[in-house]
Structure 1
Amino acid sequence: MGDTGEALFLGRQPILDRGRHVRAYELLFRDGKSAGANVVDDAQATATVIVNAFAELGMTHVLQDCDAYINVDQQFLFSEVIELLPRRGVVIELLESVPHTASVAARCMHLRAMGYTLALDDVIAFDARTRALLPLVQIVKVDVLAVAGDALRPLVAQLRRAAPHVRLLAEKVEAAADFERCMDLGFVFFQGYHFAKPTTVAGRQLGHSHQALLRLLAQLGADADSSELEETLKAEPGLTVNLLRMVNSAGTGLSRPVNSLRDVIQVLGRRYLKRWVQLLLFSVGQRQGEPSPLLLMAATRGRLMELTATLKHPEDDSLADSAFMAGMMSLMPALVGMKIEEVLAPLHLAPVIDDALLRGDGPLGPLLKLAEASERGDAESLAGALYTGTGPTVDASHFSRAQAQALEWAHTLRRGPLAGLTV
């Protein structure tokens, strides 16, 4: 992983309505800038698509207020992590590999009852599988390229007789004549190369180690104290930021501004956090790698600000927690290649954190300047940050001790959540 994070890619192809307006995008797995996808594991591909769209890249950037169609195989259909998806704005596509069993029917009915929209993908005939799954879905995607011209009309008629409630989507519409024919047959939605080939959305990945995910999952399974979970997340800034992004973009939403990592754990609840960790494990597979130096620096800066806030305001534990969050978040622009305003906009952090990061104001603003001056190793700028017009920011000797403690803590991260667990 490079200093600014590995490149990541996500394919998307527009889905249009009868007026040729883009209403949705099918999100597609991509492992590079090329147009195609090398999918070895459907469940891992689905998890990667979800993580990239809802956490790494941000759903607003990817979807632009349109719905998202996401392919799901049988394994992912039965996974609890599918319930991380928002119940509005997402269409769950049942891949052709999903069988028509009683357990699949029961699972689909459960998801429908929860408010999810389901689609049957790649229908080319009114066979036993189509007949069995048709009552369970709201949308049917017909592969018009694979259906002979004279067979499409009777297929549409059969689908309409069997399930008048479903909306028909014509996929693989390759030419204007195909579009006109599907319009005449009453299709509601359209997708294919005639309108647009899939495009690739690129971004940078916020790293998180496989070991840390396993550690966090084990802690959740053992019902570990929140302080233990908090320490694991402190060592993984990328993990924490992705959690905040996913929570907000997936529609779960935080009910109040976030001051600290403990707030994140408490507001989300352990069940949601466990599902999220499982999803990330799906997506990363067995990938390993050294932690990004910038991520390590973000964690170290957060720790230094936490210690400094404790020195200056020893009775205010909440401010110390916010100081860690502010220090960690301050390096996200360098990691993801975005302005700080763009990073913070969807995260709903507490005003005291936003004040420090956006304007250098509030009780944490001077502490952030002090941490930055410390990292530069510039004695003059450090002295200027230590002393303001109203007196010392913090006692110089105490700050030197805090620096040493933060660096020692950073050193332990290499033996702890970031790299200490073998699998």
Structure 2
Amino acid sequence: MSLGQFLILGADLPFGETIALSACVGELLLLTAAALGLLGVIGVGAKERRILAGLHYDADGKPKVFTLSYGTEMVTLHPGKDWIKTDEYKWVTRGLIEPPQSFHVLPTGAVEINGEKITLTDPEAISKLEHEINKTHVPAPVHRPAALAARPTATAHGALSRAQGKVHFHVKLDSLGHLAIECTRGSEQIETGLRGLQNLIVNGLMLKPDALHVDALQRAVEIDGVRFECTEAGAKQLEEVLNARYAPTVGAEHESPIEIKENPAAATGFDIRFVTVKAGARIEIKGHLNQERLDILQDPAKCDLLQPGIMLRLSAPNLLIRRRRPDGGEEHLPELPDIQYRRVTALQLEQLLNHPLIRRASGSASLQAAVEELEPPAELVELRVVRNPQDPLLLWLECLTTRAGEPGSKALTHHNIAD
């Protein structure tokens, strides 16, 4: 209603009704003014709360560093600055902006913020930096395994994992604020950082995820699309996910820490593999079965797999097993004879080296029974050439050995003679 229409309407109305109409219109005008004033305050406030970005140039007119400003408050983003040093005016504490998810000024002057890299030469550098510094971050959904609703405590989870024969993970923050992963398999315990996750996968202590990405500054790790920050909450979430989805079950192969495989290329015909833990690091020794690797295996300063005083020596074609006496001498082990390694299989030799009298904490009755079945190799006493009773035209070999019983008979061929 225009002012002219209001005057005409007021002239036609009685005096009392004119006053009432005037009061209504006045109230409407006051409400409109208040609404416009509120919108103005909100608009001005939003504008004043915005952090502005800028550039400083050198004498040649080239961009040198970024700047951030709020009114008369200005900070310069020199290389090496993190967010704590940058926010010297406490913009986050004052509620002007939210803290960036990540922030670092590179030596080139470029800024890494919220996972985005903004260079000085980018034509849209200022607008990009303003957008990122004023961004409102929506909390990312935390992906949790379905069975974590009624999860046990960390201690109960570790006991349950060990009872099920699974590797157990414990994640914590180290003194630098980085994520540290403790991996326990039986009595073996290893501690590593985020960059050591790949080694855990290679050594069979962690199931391989489809995607694994570690932040260059170790501020976070992303596993199969789920990001875990270097915070107490992130450490707890990572521990739960590792134990629920990436903890392998310790199989039967770990019952024999000393593994023997056949390899015709080796001088002894076998390869050896064993793992030891020193200073928290898991060290794998593998290669041809030779005296050098046996020396590592029986050296208590380098490996703790063998019983104290056990000595293993290769004296072709035998593997000699001795125990060191307190006086410095050596003695045989009556329960374990010397073995001709060219006449045993890889499985038999592996069982022998994992015998409870040789390896620490073996405790496997099956291994002991298997090794007890190993008999000393038969020594050849006499070799005779005789005629075959069924066919006198054929010559046969009779081999008399130290074992009792009928002599073995074979056809007289160059293959049998070589054997």
Q: Is the TM value for this pair above 0.5?
A: no
Indicate the structure with greater helix content.
1
Q: Which has the higher contact order (CA 8 A, sep 6+)?
A: 1
- TM-score of the superposition, structure 2-length normalised? 0.23
- TM-score of the superposition, structure 1-length normalised? 0.23
Q: Rg: which structure is higher?
A: 2
